[in-house]
A and B are shown apart, each in its own frame.
Chain A
Amino acid sequence: MLKALQLEPEKCTGCLQCEMACSFENEGVFNPSKSRIKVFNFHDEGRFAPYTCSQCAEAWCMHACPVEAIVINPKTGAKDVLESVCVGCKVCTIACPFGTVNYNADTGKVAKCDLCGGDPACASACPTGAITYVDAEHTGLERMRAHAAQSIPKA
């Protein structure tokens, strides 16, 4: 069963535990600026939205990579960046229409969510269940419904 990150912004309190966990797991430091998941702040509404790569089927980053440095992980279905192959050309960072591949100037490579190989640290760290790792088939439907409802003009 393929699993995916389910992000539920309405449960997010903006505590940034996910960013701390992600940067520590992947970069060995507690540094939210190095996190692959980001919590976006809608301060005038008092809301927060965690967001990261959805491992989309189109895989814009992977198709744009000129040196085959982004590959599908057969175990997790994630699109993994192979650090040893990435030259740091950054084409994937402009190709990803969701803005979830970032260039890391310290390493000279790009970084994106790889689901921590199947045990995402952000989901483990999230104290409110805003980030969960669930059956890929079960993410999003309620959200799509909610968003679609917004586009129906109110009587």
Chain B
Amino acid sequence: MQHVVIGAGPSGVIAAETLRKLQPKASVTLVGDEPEAPYSRMAIPYFLVKQIAEQGTHLRKTADHFAKREIKVLQKRVEGLDRAARQLTLAGGDKLAYDNLLIATGSRPVSPPIPGIDLPGVTSCWTLADARRIAATAKPGARVVLMGAGFIGCIILEALAKSGATLTVVEMEGRMVPRMMNDTAGNMIKDWCQEHGVTVHTSTKVNAIEKHGNALRVVLNSGATVDVDLVVSATGVRPNIELVKDSGIATDQGILVNRQMQTNDPSIFAAGDVAQGIDFSTGEYSVQAIQPTAADHGQLAARNMAGQKGALHRGCVNMNVLDTLGLISSSFGLWMGKAGGDSAELLNRERYRYLNLQFEDDVLVGATSLGLTQHVGVLRGLIQTKTRLGAWKDKLVADPTRIMEAYLASTQAVGFNAGVLK
């Protein structure tokens, strides 16, 4: 059996390792197109602030990790897919045959169609190579515009601010992290950033970037201009589905998969940012592009590639956690609420504390938090186990912070559930 995994991100690496575990004798090849050891984009912000060295971003820490597991790692770009021959064409023309193929090619930043976006000094922050470029420019005193205050924008926001640069953030939508935070939370994050010395323009577009002497002039749709040394573009990412274009593999936003993470070609699977998997909360297929989902997909795809029965995709809970200059926020599931559902909310603007719970009947379906670092994962647990909260729902409406008590009382032998002592 020849398993080939395209993409050396978390999903691909976990898939390759899982395949090795399940099928000790199979051939497992991991193909990635970046000239680096497999690394985590999640760790890039910490590399930018020099909290870790490059090695600290690596997904696996020992140099012989893959060799020891007899996982062949190729640093080549895959340029062609021939489904009939079950064969890939690599850059340079080499062919690579497969019995089972996993496409875990991830996503890449979208460049907004703005005049000047190709100028030197304008960069995305996606790869280690981007990070090295940014680290070289974003020195204390440097002036930086960050385009886009989505999740990716915000995780590098902190790194850029900490590097001592003078930072201006420009976001098209009316609040920060609009796809992760509601109005209240998104605007509190904005206030927090401004209090911490970052200029934030929401509901603002960049109309153009122009060369201005040795610097760049960023022209906003308000007519205002900002002169900077560096523009970091973080206006969203898109799945890398080009490889399967015209191959007959069904795609929508990402590659369409079934509950086995299998595409419409039974020997081809997809996982991670490139795959349109099941969203636990909606039951619909969508691209989540988050680390826990990438990890889950990779493991699940590998189990199915190895022929395990019953390894069915039951849907991943969409969730994110973010640290913007020390303000920690998270959101889970249907944080925006569900039609016909109700909610509980606790807000303290002055202290930047916020907790919003969304219910359907007496089941938690979504949550948003600001300033909560203790036991936050239980929100995921309550959502994913669809725990019936019963009387605890009213207690949560009265005090949303009692999430752990609600979980323990509903699932463990505590209080009225006890009766263990004879």
CB-based contact B46/A89 at 8 Å: yes
Q: Which residues of chain A from 93 to 131 have any CB-CB distance to chain B below 8 Å in the complex?
A: 93-105, 108
Interface residues on A, range: 35 or more
A29 at the A/B interface (Cβ < 8 Å)?
no
Which residues of chain B have C-beta atoms less than 8 A from A142's C-beta? 420
Q: Which residues of chain B from 387 to 404 have any CB-CB distance to chain A below 8 Å in the complex?
A: 403-404
CB-based contact A66/B291 at 8 Å: yes
Q: Which residues of chain A from 7 to 22 have any CB-CB distance to chain B below 8 Å in the complex?
A: 8-11
Q: Which of B61, B384, B416 contacts A45 (CB 8 A)?
A: B416
CB-based contact B414/A42 at 8 Å: yes
CB-based contact A97/B373 at 8 Å: no
Chain B nearest CB from A37 CB (Å) reads: 12
CB-based contact B418/A47 at 8 Å: yes
**A95–B59 CA distance with the chains assembled, in angstroms:** 18
Which residues of chain B have C-beta atoms less than 8 A from A85's C-beta? 56, 61
Contact with B along A1-38 (1 / 0, CB 8 A): 00000001111000000000000000000000000001
CB-based contact B380/A67 at 8 Å: no
Which residue of A has the minimal Cβ distance to B403? Answer: A99
**A132–B123 CA distance with the chains assembled, in angstroms:** 55
Which residue of B has the minimal Cβ distance to A150? Answer: B417
CB-based contact A67/B59 at 8 Å: yes
The stretch of B135-143, B305-313, B319-327 in contact with A is: B319-327
CB-based contact B330/A94 at 8 Å: yes
Which residues of chain B have C-beta atoms less than 8 A from A95's C-beta? 292, 319, 377, 380
Which residues of chain B have C-beta atoms less than 8 A from A42's C-beta? 405, 409, 414-415
Which residues of chain A have C-beta atoms less than 8 A from B326's C-beta? 105
Contact with B along A32-65 (1 / 0, CB 8 A): 0000001011100101010100000000100110
Residue of B323, B374, B377, B409 most packed against chain A (CB within 10 A): B377
Which residue of B has the minimal Cβ distance to A143? Answer: B413
Which residues of chain A have C-beta atoms less than 8 A from B418's C-beta? 9-10, 47, 146
CB-based contact A67/B420 at 8 Å: no
CB-based contact B51/A87 at 8 Å: yes
CB-based contact B59/A102 at 8 Å: no
Q: Which of B374, B416, B420 contacts A143 (CB 8 A)?
A: B420
Which residues of chain A have C-beta atoms less than 8 A from B385's C-beta? 97
Which residues of chain A have C-beta atoms less than 8 A from B61's C-beta? 68, 85
CB-based contact A40/B404 at 8 Å: yes
Chain B nearest CB from A9 CB (Å) reads: 5
Contact with A along B294-312 (1 / 0, CB 8 A): 0110010000000000000
CB-based contact B405/A66 at 8 Å: no
B381 at the A/B interface (Cβ < 8 Å)?
yes
CB-based contact A8/B420 at 8 Å: yes
Q: Which of B51, B321, B378, B409 contacts A91 (CB 8 A)?
A: B321
Q: Can you list 11 A-B pairs with a CB-CB distance of less than 8 A? A: A47-B418, A63-B295, A63-B296, A93-B321, A94-B319, A97-B385, A100-B375, A102-B374, A104-B373, A146-B417, A147-B412
**Residues of A participating in the B interface, judged by any CB pair closer than 8 Å:** 8-11, 38, 40-42, 45, 47, 49, 51, 60, 63-64, 66-68, 85, 87-105, 108, 142-144, 146-147, 149-150
**Residues of B participating in the A interface, judged by any CB pair closer than 8 Å:** 10, 14, 40, 42-43, 46, 51-52, 56-61, 291-292, 295-296, 299, 319-321, 323, 326, 328, 330, 332, 373-381, 384-385, 403-405, 407-409, 411-421
- A sample of 8 more A-B contacts (CB under 8 A), given A42-B405, A143-B413, A146-B419, is A64-B291, A66-B40, A85-B56, A87-B56, A93-B373, A97-B378, A99-B377, A150-B413
